[in-house]
Amino acid sequence: MIDSSASMYGMPPQLQVTADGPLRFITLNRPDELNASSTEMLFAYADLFARLAKDSEARVAILTGSGRAFSAGGDFHHFVKTLDDPAFAREVQENARRVIHSIIDLPIPIIAAVNGPAVGFGATLATLCDIVLMSDRAFLAEPHINIGLVVGDGISVSWPLYMSLLRAKELIFTGDRITAQQAVEYGLANRVVTADQLMDEARKLADKLLAQPQIALRETKKIMNTFLRQSASHVLDTTLATQLSATLSDEHHQLARAFLARQARS
């Protein structure tokens, strides 16, 4: 049975981690906020994946969201703080580096069960997983450019590797929504599953991986993720430095303030 007690690894309640034998479930747990990552969550991800990597009993993990969304990205209050506090914005960029590497270096397979919208950092989390299952109600989007920011860190690492550079440019330059079926066609997801079957399908796939020889599976994942590590080594430093410049730019501040004003009126 799934352990429904307090979250494992000392994670905050917004990051619910439970166990069913060697299977770990990670649930983004802010359903009223569409699982947008709070500052506390964003600074907990690297620790979460590091602790999962050291969990000798864990062999496979499933990442999903509670409620109707996978993750709407970073939350409103975190967004405002990066506008108002340049020192904090720098901390955010360094934390992003740790998070991306902690996901890539996770030794066990992780399955994304994308139950709803996965936007910005939510799309990063989903598409850095090893296998991506998408609900027919889900979509991906990378809208950073719409508010004067550059491409998301993990997306700069993974999307040009998964599909053609021309396709990645179009999706990142426009910030357009990517339907679940398009995500499969473009190479950002493995398959589409009906919403009511998503977690069952993720569990069936996890059980199939659990039946594989453990050491061989871990070592094979390490080999396959060499491509992501190489991509990160080539682009992540540039992405993070440019993200910081964009975060502190007048262009971003003007667009972000206009966005916040629209949100306040709605």
Q: How much is the pLDDT for 134?
A: 98
AA identity, residue 261: A
pLDDT value for 263: 62
Cα separation of 18 and 36, whole Å?
A: 20
Whole-number pLDDT of residue 6? 66
CB-CB contact of 138 with 113 (8 Å): no
Decide: 45 and 29 in contact? Cβ < 8 Å. no
What's the confidence (pLDDT) of residue 78? 77
Q: Report the pLDDT value the prediction gives residue 265, as an integer from 0 to 100.
A: 67
The distance in angstroms from the start CA to the end CA of the chain is 43
pLDDT at 2: 40
One-letter amino acid identity for 6?
A
pLDDT, position 118: 98
CB 78 within 8 A of CB 30: no
Nearest to 133 by CA among 74, 228, 208: 208
Architecture of the domain defined by 8-197+212-265: Alpha-Beta Complex (3.90)
φ/ψ of 64, rounded to 5, equals -150, 180
Q: Where are the domains of the chain?
A: 8-197+212-265
φ and ψ of 61, to 5 deg? -130, 150
Residue 266: its pLDDT value, please? 60
Q: In angstroms, rounded to a whole number, what is the distance separating the alpha carbons of residues 44 and 110?
A: 17
- Taking each helix axis from N to C terminus, what angle separates 153-162 and 165-174, rounded to the nearest 10 degrees? 140
φ, ψ for residue 203 (rounded to 5)?
-70, -40
- Helix/strand/coil for 7: coil
DSSP 34-90: TTPBPHHHHTTHHHHHHHHHH-TT--EEEEEESTT-SB-SB-HHHHHHHHH-HHHHH
* ∠ CA 154-159-161, rounded to 5°: 110
33-44 pLDDT tens trace: 999 999 999 999
Cα–Cα distance, 209 to 212 (Å, whole number): 5
Segments of the chain scoring below 50 in pLDDT: 1-5
pLDDT, tens digit, 9 for 90 and up, residues 195-234 = 999 999 999 999 999 999 999 999 999 999 999 999 999 9
